[in-house]
Structure 1
Amino acid sequence: MSTVVSKDGTTLAFDRIGEGPAVILVDGALCHRSSGPNGPLAALLAERFTVYTYDRRGRGDSGDTAPYAVEREVEDLEALIAEAGGSAFVYGISSGAALALEAADRGLAIGRLALYEAPFIVDDSRPPVPRDYRAQISELLAAGRRGDTVKYFMRRAVGLPALVVAMMRFMPAWSGLTAVAHTLAYDAAVVAGTQSGEPLPAGRWASVTLPTLVAVGGKSPGWMHNAMAAVADALPDARHHTLKGQTHIVKPQALAPVLIDFFAGSGQFAGQGADRISAAGLPGGGGQHASGGRSR
């Protein structure tokens, strides 16, 4: 484990493996380095890239500084990019995709951006989250009801059946979920305004002109396909890709080859956006950051 210090003084824990251009992986809700899909994915990408996985603030071994703001998480990603050499490719999944998209919109030095199933709700193909969702999350957390916070998220945001959610507390992973329940308020802030069942706000990401991969699982529900199609339509240089046979719990073995081709500009993505990457500079990292760590 290595650490880097964000702009507000928060210490962020990260791992770095592999050698090549820098790629930073951004987790979704309730996930971090030791619990989530990005560790196995990083191992597969490390054959071609220097891959960074990190604990978003408030999770795992990273610190947390109040008050929370989405801008602080953007600054966290900016600190990781600086650690990686000043620019990087970025991949985000679920709410991590929403955060990565927000970071790109705010002008971070991202060479290429890959998004998997940002949890936007853009039509009536599924119920929207309740209008008071963020307030309910905050109230549950303020009352110390961490388990109920996770259950509320699973029911109202994820949309799992009540029986499934009721059984979750008997799973070995339950204690790990409740340990980071407070960060559900952070994710709610990241996706605010995108889960109402209405079209995405016009011009929300108008400045994201870099090459962007917008991916969705072939077996994911229709509302997610609609959301990712809407994201692709909203971005001027997007590639909309469906991973056959995959769901929101995407298999690293299915995703890694697509990300490798996209970030390398090879295979089905050969020659797409290469001029923009050249103009922005190849993401830093490479062999010089393949081991060890430092704080700043």
Structure 2
Amino acid sequence: MTETTPPDAGGKVKTHRAVSNDGTEIVGHVYGDGRPLVLVHAGLGDGVLDWDGATAYLSDRFTCYLMSTRGRGSSGDHPDQSTERHVEDVVAFVESVGEPVGLAGPSGGAMFALGAAARSEAVAAVAACDPLAFEVLDGADEARLHDAVERMAELAADDRLVEAARDWMTEWANDREMSVLSESGYLEACAQYVPALLQVLQQADAYSPTDPSVLQRITVPVVLLQGSRSNATWTWFTESVRHVDEHVRDATVREIDGAGHMGAWVEPESYADELVQFFEERHERV
């Protein structure tokens, strides 16, 4: 597995290690200085791939932990790729930091962050960037998602991983975002994780981090960052934000003008600005 590394300002890149409930080692690259901010990746990336763009705008204010769940980045692998195990990976990592942390994640990673916030007192606040909620999928959306998974599985079976990654991302990104992701090399870099993502999707369990009963257990402040153009790609994205907002007791929705669902990757400065504002406001109130 090819390991990605974050931008380095001349010093050695540090790592932080934790052990999940089933013994899997969970690793994050550490970058910057300040209060701890743990950054979780989405479905097809790793901590560095998904957050290196925003790190440049965050590392002068926060110690950024770019963590990767099992089977990603430098973390250990495990045959159990269920949703609950990924949430346990995040819980183990945030609790190993040793002090309350800010926690952020985009898309599917936002689900893991919300699940961790419902379980751990180590989470002081959460930024869920364009989160997904499978509870609001209707029949047509389920069929669309099923077809996308089937296409990805067929391409992966033929060892056409880059094509699989590209085809999968067309369901989430608009044309402009796809152009940026292609030119940046993101699609080629994350293609190695297609098999891992298929495992996650195929091992979906009864546990859901966005079940109302889970979301209602979150007591810390949550900001829901939503691209203003995400709805043009899939109405599911807007409905997911509405669902989370409805069930989390202390939630605020902030719209990122002009961004789509992949805004955290394509508009990293805009999302970083919102993260800085939210987490610093939280710190001032404590």
Q: TM-score, normalised by structure 2?
A: 0.74
Residue 29 of structure 1: how far off its partner (Å): 1.7
Matches within 5 A, 1:1-296: 1-7=14-20, 8-36=22-50, 38-120=51-133, 122=136, 127-129=141-143, 136=150, 140=154, 143=157, 145=159, 147=161, 150=165, 153-154=168-169, 158=172, 173-185=186-198, 187-188=200-201, 201-221=211-231, 223=235, 224-250=237-263, 251-265=267-281, 274=285, 278=286
The answer as to whether partners of 1:137 and 1:185 remain within 8 angstroms in 2 is no
CA distance in 1 between partners of 2:81 and 2:148 (Å)? 13
CA distance in 2, matches of 1:105, 1:137: 34
CA contact (8 A) 1:26 1:100 kept: yes
| Contiguous gaps of at least 5 residues in structure 2 | 1-13
How has the CA–CA distance of structure 1 residues 41 and 186 changed in structure 2, closer, same or farther, with 3 Å as cutoff? farther
SS at match of 1:59: coil
Distance 1:119 1:96 in 2: 9
- Indicate how the Cα distance of structure 1 residues 40 and 133 shifts in structure 2: closer, same or farther if over 3 A, else same: same
**Residues 29 and 67 in structure 2, CA contact (< 8 A), matched pair in contact too:** yes
Judged with a 3 Å threshold, the aligned counterparts in structure 2 of structure 1 residues 204 and 47 are, in CA distance, closer, same or farther, namely same
CA contact (8 A) 1:5 1:79 kept: yes
Unaligned runs of at least 5 residues, structure 1:
279-296
User: Whole-Å Cα distance in 1 between the matches of residues 148 and 116 of structure 2?
Assistant: 21
C-alpha displacement of 1:56: 2.2
Deviation of 1:191 (Å) = 7.6
SS in 1 for 2:224: strand
CA distance in 1, matches of 2:189, 2:230: 25
- Aligned Cα root-mean-square deviation (Å): 3.7
Alpha-carbon contact 2:133-2:243 (below 8 Å) kept: no
Hey, what's the Cα distance between the residues in 2 that align with 1:177 and 1:104? 27
Contact 1:42 / 1:52 at 8 angstroms: preserved in 2?
no
Distance in 2 (CA, whole Å) between partners of 1:201 and 1:212 is 16
CA drift of 1:187 comes to 4.5
Q: Tell whether the 8 Å contact from 2:149 to 2:168 is kept in structure 1 after alignment.
A: no
Distance in 2 (alpha carbons) for counterparts of 1:75 and 1:149? 28
Deviations 1:21-70 (A, max 9, x none): 1110011122124423x112122112221111022221222220222233
Partner AA of 1:263 in structure 2: F
Percent of pairs identical after alignment? 24
Distance 1:11 1:144, change over 3 A: farther
C-alpha contact (below 8 Å) 1:30/1:181 kept by paired residues: yes
How far does residue 110 in structure 1 lie from its aligned partner after superposition?
0.4
Q: d(CA) in 2 for partners of 1:81 and 1:208?
A: 15
Any idea what SS the aligned residue of 1:12 has? strand
Q: Report the AA paired with residue 205 of structure 1.
A: L
The structure whose Rg is larger is 1
How many angstroms does 1:111 deviate by?
0.2
Q: Greater RCO between the two (CA within 8 Å, min separation 6)?
A: 1
Contact 2:156 2:194 in 1 (8 A): no
Q: Tell me, what secondary structure is at the counterpart of 2:49?
A: coil
